[in-house]
Amino acid sequence: MILLGLDPGLGTTGWGVIAAEGNRLRHVGNGQIKTEPSMPLPRRLTYLHAALAEMIRVERPDGAAVEEVLGNSNAQSTLKLGQARGIVLLSAAQAGLIVGEYHPSIVKKAVVGTGGADKKQIQAMVGHLLPGVKLTGPDAADALAVAITHAHHLASARAQMRRTGISA
């Protein structure tokens, strides 16, 4: 199963694609989509949507997962981040993907083992879990962490269904 992880942002949206084969994970690709701060907001959102649609067309994932947005003290920044997250969700949904959503602390706990992990710890564990990965940046590392979290959650759900006798 090919899984796409997405770390939304208006300035930079990270993406990461992994192959999950049972308990084995393999890196497929990762990147960052950047928008120009000088562009008007509607153009930045349009660019983000087009770039995501093209990446999804090329990578052909079977499912996707998106990190939830945390609010901050700047309401304007939170609103713009929420709009970028909406574009990320729209792009995945338009491609027919079922999208999982994970709180950042769940992603950190799944990948590092603690919900309070920092970006360097996430990058180190992503490198450990996906040997040979060349990260394009911290947002791509976060996106791969989201994909890894989704793979673990899907595997746990399948195992639970087998234990209870429910077929997938």
pLDDT (tens digit, 9 = 90+) per residue, 48-63?
Answer: 999 999 999 999 999 9
pLDDT one-digit tens code per residue, 24-41: 999 999 999 999 999 999
Catalytic residues: 7, 67, 139
Beta strands in the chain (DSSP E): 2-7, 12-21, 24-34, 63-67, 99-102
Candidates 125, 118, 146; CA nearest to 9 is 146
Candidates 129, 168, 151, 131; CA nearest to 19 is 151
At residue 160, does pLDDT exceed 70? no
Q: Is 139 annotated to bind ligand?
A: yes
Q: Is 142 annotated to bind ligand?
A: no
At residue 120, does pLDDT exceed 80? yes
Residue 11 burial (CB count, 10 A)? 16
Query: Could you say which DSSP state residue 35 is in?
Result: -
Output the pTM of the full model.
Answer: 0.92
At residue 156, does pLDDT exceed 80? no
User: Total structural domains in the chain?
Assistant: 1
Candidates 48, 44, 88, 29; CA nearest to 64 is 88
At residue 163, does pLDDT exceed 90? no
135-154 average pLDDT score? 96
Half-sphere exposure for 81 (CA within 13 Å, toward CB): 16
Q: Residue 67 is part of which domain span? A: 2-126+134-164
The pLDDT, as a whole number, for residue 23 is 83
At residue 113, does pLDDT exceed 60? yes
Query: Could you say which DSSP state residue 160 is in?
Result: H
Q: Is 54 annotated to bind ligand?
A: no
CATH number at residue 19: 3.30.420.10
The pLDDT, as a whole number, for residue 97 is 97
Task: Name every residue whose Cβ is closer than 8 Å to that of residue 57 and which is 6 or more positions away in sequence.
Answer: 95
The pLDDT, as a whole number, for residue 83 is 95
